[in-house]
Amino acid sequence: MALTSSLLLLFSISFVQLQFLAEADDQFVQSSAAYYPDSAQNGTSDGSCGYGSFGATLNGGDVSAANSLYRNGVGCGACYQVKCTNAKNCSDNGVTIVITDSGASANTDFILSQLAFSQMGQTTDAGTSLLALGSVNIEYRRVSCSYPNKNITIKIDESSNFPDYLAFQIWYQQGNQDITAVQLCETVNLTCKLLNRSHGAVWTVVSAPSGPLSIRMLLSGGDEGDETWVVPVNNIPQQWKAGDVYDSGIQVN
Ligand SMILES: *[C@@H]1O[C@H](CO)[C@@H](O)[C@H](O)[C@H]1NC(C)=O
Ligand SMILES: *[C@@H]1O[C@H](CO)[C@@H](O)[C@H](O)[C@H]1NC(C)=O
Ligand SMILES: *[C@@H]1O[C@H](CO)[C@@H](O)[C@H](O)[C@H]1NC(C)=O
Ligand SMILES: *[C@@H]1O[C@H](CO)[C@@H](O)[C@H](O)[C@H]1NC(C)=O
Ligand SMILES: *[C@H]1O[C@@H](CO)[C@H](O)[C@@H](O)[C@@H]1NC(C)=O
């Protein structure tokens, strides 16, 4: 009897977990995708997200422009699994891309880098035959980004002008949540102010406070719907410089 009920309990727990997993996995959405025709193999260094040259090599060059999924820049850095469906040579898993740009061509949701587009094929040759099609039917779903051995990283944008104008990008955020707000905090007196997203993944403050700064990020609700402020371990040093890259010392999943 006791054995039966613990088995039953075990069964119910696995059942609950399975349901949870099923909910956590987004459903595939049908759409179509094209690729940047005149780009280098890799991504693009002038994408609207403002990642600069980082946008060309991010995720090994498997990047994409998004149409409505760009969401005024909130979609920058989000990861999607994209697989073609109409061609015989499509692989089962397709490719996982990161959004670095905004754009559409003939009702597509994605304009992939050539590299990413061809990776939807089963083989290199199959990828080449996909490229010849120009655009293909796809299905896609949001997936977690994964950057092994990387913390969330703050890149001080080249447009910054010490000590007043501070613009920065947020790199390598794992998981499948959005950064919906950013606070800049003075670490000396813990005064924080909300920043504006200037464009894409770039946040700016016109008159930056002096002293070491802490950049807090609000992550959109995950499966439980709770928003959370992520507080970095490391500060931006007092003498920050345009072009510098600072490790936040934290990562999310
Ligand atoms: C493409 O990306 C790879 C690594 O992601 C990099 O080594 C290479 O230099 C890039 N090529 C171009 C043309 O940007
Ligand atoms: C599949 O790929 C091969 C090359 O690997 C190509 O010759 C063939 O035309 C492709 N088939 C389709 C239906 O695209
Ligand atoms: C954000 O934008 C609003 C409206 O343009 C402006 O009033 C506010 O000062 C900006 N905040 C910062 C931190 O620059
Ligand atoms: C990430 O941050 C932790 C400290 O919070 C540090 O120990 C670790 O070395 C960092 N990882 C990388 C890859 O920089
Ligand atoms: C921290 O607090 C804010 C708001 O009260 C002030 O504007 C800053 O000048 C102050 N910073 C320092 C270093 O005292």
Domain ranges in the chain? 7-143, 153-247
Q: Is 248 in the pocket of ligand 4 (CB under 6 A)?
A: no
Q: What is the architecture of the domain spanning 7-143?
A: Beta Barrel (2.40)
Q: What angle do CA 45, 47, 53 make, to 5 degrees?
A: 20
Mean pLDDT, rounded, for 180-194: 95
DSSP single-letter state for residue 145: B
φ/ψ (deg, to 5) at 113: -65, 155
Domains 7-143 and 153-247 share a fold: no
Mean pLDDT, rounded, for 213-234: 89
Nearest ligand, measured from the Cα of 209: 5
Ligand 4 atom with the smallest distance to the CA of 151 is 1
Q: Whose CA is nearest to atom 3 of ligand 3?
A: 196
User: Which residues lie closer than 8 Å to 6 by C-beta, 6 or more apart?
Assistant: none
Q: How far is the CA of 26 from the centre of ligand 1 (A)?
A: 31
Mutational test site, ligand 3, from 192, 196, 216, max ligand atoms within 8 Å of CB: 196
pLDDT interval class at 88 (50, 70, 90): confident
Mean pLDDT, rounded, for 168-183: 96
pLDDT at residue 188 is higher than 80 = yes
pTM, rounded to two decimals: 0.86
Q: Whose CA is nearest to atom 6 of ligand 4?
A: 249
pLDDT interval class at 105 (50, 70, 90): confident
Q: Whose CA is nearest to atom 3 of ligand 4?
A: 249
pLDDT at residue 196 is higher than 70 = yes
DSSP single-letter state for residue 92: S
Higher pLDDT, residue 15 or 101:
101
User: Which residues lie closer than 8 Å to 14 by C-beta, 6 or more apart?
Assistant: none
Q: How far is the CA of 147 from the centre of ligand 4 (A)?
A: 12
| Rg, C-alpha atoms of the chain | 21
**Residue ranges around ligand 5 (CB below 6 Å):** 186, 188-189, 191, 211
pLDDT interval class at 120 (50, 70, 90): very high
Q: What is the pLDDT of residue 40?
A: 60
pLDDT at residue 228 is higher than 80 = yes
Nearest ligand, measured from the Cα of 184: 3
pLDDT interval class at 186 (50, 70, 90): very high
Q: What is the architecture of the domain spanning 153-247?
A: Sandwich (2.60)
Mutational test site, ligand 1, from 36, 38, 53, 57, max ligand atoms within 8 Å of CB: 57
